[in-house]
Amino acid sequence: MAKFKFESVKFEQIMTDYATIREVTIPDAVSLNARLLCVELARRTQPFGAEQTSGTIRVKNDIGKIIKNTEQLDEYADRVGSQRIKARLKALIKSGRFDIVEMILRNIGFLNKWTGMEVIGASKMKSVHNEARNKTTGRTKSRGSKLFIASVSDQETYISEVQKRVGISKGGWADCATQLKKVNKGGLLANFPPWVKKAMRSGSGKVQDMTSDIKNPRVHLTNNVPWASNVIPKSEEDNATAVVVVKMRNQMNMILKKRQKTLLET
């Protein structure tokens, strides 16, 4: 879960100027720019990039570091120098005698990087994967404690299931945007990539709208996705705010230029 507060008192002068130039109330100005902030927070939440493929490829690679499939085990056999041992390993892999495969690999020193080898089924893949992930960042280690082997179909099925979650953390910010007050003509989900909107889950975002507070109109945005705080660094939260302020200034400059041009033409 990740929380973010957008308060007018933090940007008091620019918010007042913005509201005046846009000809809206300060509470409406807060709502307008809270939506922009949702867009920027989503952009700075992993996976980075405008396309979903950056995230799905990352998932495949991360899982592949921890869980190998039987075809990859066969490729490992190709690395063995002895043609006799190589042929025996390949025959054993093909017949499913992984107990003997482990014994041979251990004897030739191939398993020195791991504590052993274990063949796992679909039911254990999630726990093995989660055990290999950093609890703070969610990043996957370079290898598992053991050389975990799964069938090609089980590995592909599990990868596909995890890939479906790509973009959900970004979607939490999109869900926040849908709950904000609509002030202008544009849609509340404008500038969110289609794949992020597709990944959005109802309830994944929460908005506390306190723009009615005269002294400090504000909006609190909460991304309810459990791992959201792990995939958006604090530095990127700060960058998102800075970008919104720049966008506010750019909008004001654009409006003032248009008005100046109109006055010159009249």
Residues 40 and 82 in one domain: no
pLDDT at 7: 66
Main-chain phi, psi angles of 82, to 5 degrees = -70, 120
Residues 246 and 171 in one domain: yes
CB 225, CB 169: distance < 8 Å: yes
Cα 156 from Cα 151, distance rounded (Å) = 9
Q: Residue 68: is its pLDDT beyond 60?
A: yes
As for how many domains the chain has, the answer is 2
Percent of the chain, pLDDT > 70? 92
Residues 37 and 67 in one domain: no
Last residue of a domain, one of 148, 163, 178: 163
Cα 252 from Cα 260, distance rounded (Å) = 12
Residues 217 and 173 in one domain: yes
CB 182, CB 188: distance < 8 Å: yes
> Between 8 and 251, where is the model more confident?
251
Residue 261 confidence class, pLDDT cut points 50, 70, 90: low
Give 237-251 pLDDT, tens digit per residue.
Answer: 777 877 777 777 777
Sheet order of strands, 117-119 included: 67-69, 147-150, 117-119
CB 170, CB 196: distance < 8 Å: yes
pLDDT at 109: 92
pLDDT at 66: 94
> Between 4 and 91, where is the model more confident?
91
pLDDT at 252: 76
Last residue of a domain, one of 107, 131, 163: 163
Residues 82 and 132 in one domain: yes
Q: Which residues contact 160 (CB under 8 A, 6 or more apart)?
A: none
Q: Residue 49: is its pLDDT beyond 90?
A: no
Residues 188 and 244 in one domain: yes
> Between 51 and 261, where is the model more confident?
51
pLDDT at 10: 67
**Mean pLDDT on 210-221:** 87
CB atoms within 10 A of CB 77: 20
CB 139, CB 168: distance < 8 Å: no
Residues 183 and 151 in one domain: no
User: What is residue 110's DSSP assignment?
Assistant: T
Residues 18 and 79 in one domain: no
Which one-letter amino acid corresponds to residue 212?
S
Residues 145 and 94 in one domain: yes
Q: Residue 265: is its pLDDT beyond 60?
A: no
Sheet order of strands, 218-223 included: 2-7, 218-223, 205-210
Domain that holds residue 97: 53-163
Rounded to the nearest integer, the mean pLDDT of the chain is 86
Cα 205 from Cα 110, distance rounded (Å) = 48
Q: Residue 114: is its pLDDT beyond 80?
A: yes
Instruction: Kindly list the distances between the CA atom of residue 180 and the CA atoms of 22, 105, 175, 199, in Å, as whole numbers in the listed order.
Output: 18, 59, 9, 19
Residues 20 and 57 in one domain: no
Q: Which residues contact 16 (CB under 8 A, 6 or more apart)?
A: 26
> Between 226 and 263, where is the model more confident?
226
Nearest to 60 by CA among 150, 149, 161, 173: 161
Residues 99 and 155 in one domain: yes
Element (H, E) at 151: none
**Mean pLDDT on 12-26:** 79
Give 21-30 pLDDT, tens digit per residue.
Answer: 877 888 888 8
Main-chain phi, psi angles of 110, to 5 degrees = -70, -25
Give 116-153 pLDDT, tens digit per residue.
Answer: 999 999 999 999 998 988 766 667 888 889 999 999 99
Residues 251 and 209 in one domain: yes
Which one-letter amino acid corresponds to residue 242?
A
Cα 138 from Cα 147, distance rounded (Å) = 20
Last residue of a domain, one of 104, 134, 163: 163
Task: List the beta bridge partners of residue 188.
Answer: none
pLDDT at 155: 96
pLDDT at 146: 93
pLDDT at 96: 93
Coil, strand, or helix at residue 69? strand
